[in-house]
């Protein structure tokens, strides 16, 4: 009987140890990924009409998103401390600027009509 119980206990101990190690590795990987993500949030508006602009194209280092019906946009960016931002819309002047992601500030972008 003892010959059967000892190997079973040893196998269970090994299984538990492997499970704990895998859980720690997954936890560490998740923390590292979340630390790298930077987000750009903002709104695009027309200063003359005092209205938001829906459908404006926001390009960050070549990747694009669009402003929603209220002119808001959100853009997740990985691993860059600085990025080039371009905002364009039909019948408005295109704006391009460099942004430091470490500032973590929301943007208010005002486009002028052509």
68-100 per-position pLDDT tens digit:
999 999 887 656 678 888 999 999 999 999 887
CATH number of the domain at 37-110, out of 2.60.40.1120, 2.60.120.260, 3.30.465.10, 2.40.160.10?
2.60.40.1120
The full set of domain ranges for the chain reads 37-110
Confidence (pLDDT) at 58:
93
| Whole-structure pTM value | 0.64
Question: What's the 3-state SS for the chain?
Answer: CHHHHHHHHHHHHHHHHHHHHHHHHHHHHHHHHHHHEEEEEEEEEECCCCEECCCCEEEECCEEEECCCCCEEEEEEECCCEEEEEEECCCECCEEEEEEHHHCCCEEEECCEC
32 has a pLDDT exceeding 70: no
pLDDT band at 39 (very low <50, low <70, confident <90, very high): confident
């Amino acid at each position: 009987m003892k010959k059967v119980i000892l190997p079973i206990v040893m196998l269970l101990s090994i299984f538990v140890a492997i499970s704990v190690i895998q859980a720690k590795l997954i936890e560490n990987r998740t923390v590292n990924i979340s630390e790298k993500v930077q987000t750009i949030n903002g709104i695009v508006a027309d200063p003359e009409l005092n209205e938001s602009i829906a459908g404006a194209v926001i390009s960050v280092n070549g990747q694009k998103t669009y402003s929603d019906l209220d002119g808001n946009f959100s853009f997740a960016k990985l691993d860059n401390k600085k990025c080039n931002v371009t905002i364009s819309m039909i019948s408005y002047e295109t704006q391009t600027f460099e942004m430091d992601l470490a500032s973590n500030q929301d943007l208010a972008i005002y486009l002028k009509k052509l």
